[in-house]
Amino acid sequence: MNKYLARNLLKDNCLPGQFNIFSLTRRDGNLRRLLLITVIIFISMSVLSPKLFLTLRNFTSMSFQFPELGILAMAMMVTMLTGGIDLSAVGIANLSGIIAALILTSDSVTGAFGNSAIATIILLAIIVSAIMGVVCGLLNGLCISKIGITPILATLGSMQIFTGIAIVITRGSAIYGFPDQFSFVGNGNIWIFPMPLIIFVILSALFAIMLNKTTFGRKLYMMGSNPVAAVFSGINNTQMLIRTYILSGFLSAMAGIVMIARTNSAKADYGTSYVLQAILVVVLGGVNPSGGFGTVSGLVLAMLCLQFLSSGFNMLHFSNFFKEFVWGAVLVAVMVLNYYSNTGRSSFRRITKGLK
């Protein structure tokens, strides 16, 4: 089937009607609940510590903190839309961050371009690390689609490989001392907006457009919700999977850039706890881990919800561990809430699961 027809089929809701109604009510229901929870958290934090929480300084510091995890969560989300998972996202972020760091700190590169061309060097570092992310993603995609390894295992293995290579390159130590212009990417402001936030907003806007307005995005949702139907409607699943993991690798590399720019250093095992946190954000945002459903707005909302919680707890002088506890509790609570409000759907899901 040609692209044009596939797009129109989806636009006109020509899929079995029941299917779409279920997915829509469910998605909106989740989003509404999440919005409510976020607002409740926001209000209670504002009431509990108004002098600290409701300040520009707090919002600035929050928007320095969440973008790197947010971008990683986007990388995770795109693979989860296909029913896969990318455990290697943090590994890719670290590896491509280290590659960028090597370029930024290397004397020979500075020598070749001269100190005046600092912008060129930074651009080069970003491009090379993006290429690194794409290559890593390609490797994942090939393992998953061509060889047929389950995503969770393929990326589990490649996570170890990427982190391993990063350890081999750095011998376990940190790389630091980037040019000031580069750390602007992670620590600078444009007017009152922090750079990481700007990068996050741009990337998530592009990501949302890609998911909702392009054929690629539509095919992605279609393949995620029913891979067999996708094959029979002319979607090349192999090619789609490879592209998905490449995209995930690219986004991970961008997260890596933000990460090293913000901390002004690169290390092989930076942010290892981000893997599970990213999955948590994505799932909390309403992405179905078995594929097919999920929105960027849900992801952003989930990210905000957790960030409000984290910052609020910091201000109330709770420990980081209490934060970890609450994150887990929120995740489980939201899932239970979803269960209660979707009881009609659960019988529907049982039927579809039986068909698989």
| Footprint on this chain of other proteins (rule: CB under 8 A) | 87, 143-145, 147-150, 152-154, 156-165, 167-168, 171-172, 227-228, 231, 237-238, 241, 272-273, 276, 279-280, 283, 289-290, 318-319, 321-329, 331-332, 335-336, 339, 346, 350, 353-354
Comparison of 55 and 150: residue with beta carbon closer to other proteins? 150
177 or 354: CB nearest other proteins? 354
Q: Which is nearer to other proteins, 43 or 333 (CB)?
A: 333
The least distance separating other proteins from the CB of residue 79, rounded to whole angstroms, comes to 12
Angstrom distance (rounded) from CA 160 to CA 139 = 13
Q: How far apart are the C-alpha atoms of 296 and 106, rounded to whole Å?
A: 38
Q: How far is the CB of 104 from other proteins (least distance, A)?
A: 22
| Residue closer to other proteins (CB basis): 194 or 312 | 312
- Least distance in Å: CB of 85 to other proteins? 8
User: C-beta of 126: minimal distance to other proteins in Å?
Assistant: 25
CB of 60 vs other proteins, minimal distance in Å: 27
Token pair for residue 127? 């491009």
In the DSSP assignment, the letter for residue 265 is E
**Which CB, 71 or 306, lies closer to other proteins?**
306
Q: Which is nearer to other proteins, 196 or 224 (CB)?
A: 224
CB of 233 to other proteins, least distance (A): 13
DSSP string, 47-80: HHSHHHHTSHHHHHHHHHHHHHHHHHHHHHHHHH
Q: How many CB atoms lie within 10 A of CB 157?
A: 15
Residue 178: count of CB within 10 angstroms of its CB: 22
**Interatomic CA distance for residues 78 and 86, integer angstroms:** 9
Cβ-based burial of 250 (10 A; exposed 0-12, middle 13-18, buried ≥19)? buried
C-alpha to C-alpha distance for 93 and 156, rounded to whole angstroms: 15
Q: What are phi and psi of 138, to 5 degrees?
A: -60, -45
63-to-58, 119, 131, 200 alpha-carbon distances in Å: 9, 25, 27, 9
- Minimum CB separation from other proteins for residue 254, in Å? 23
Residue whose CB is less far from other proteins, 66 or 178: 66
Beta bridge partners of 198: none
Radius of gyration of the chain (CA): 21
Name which of 262, 269, 267, 272 is nearest 102 in CA terms: 267
- As measured in angstroms, the least distance from the Cβ of 1 to other proteins is 16
Q: Which is nearer to other proteins, 75 or 85 (CB)?
A: 85
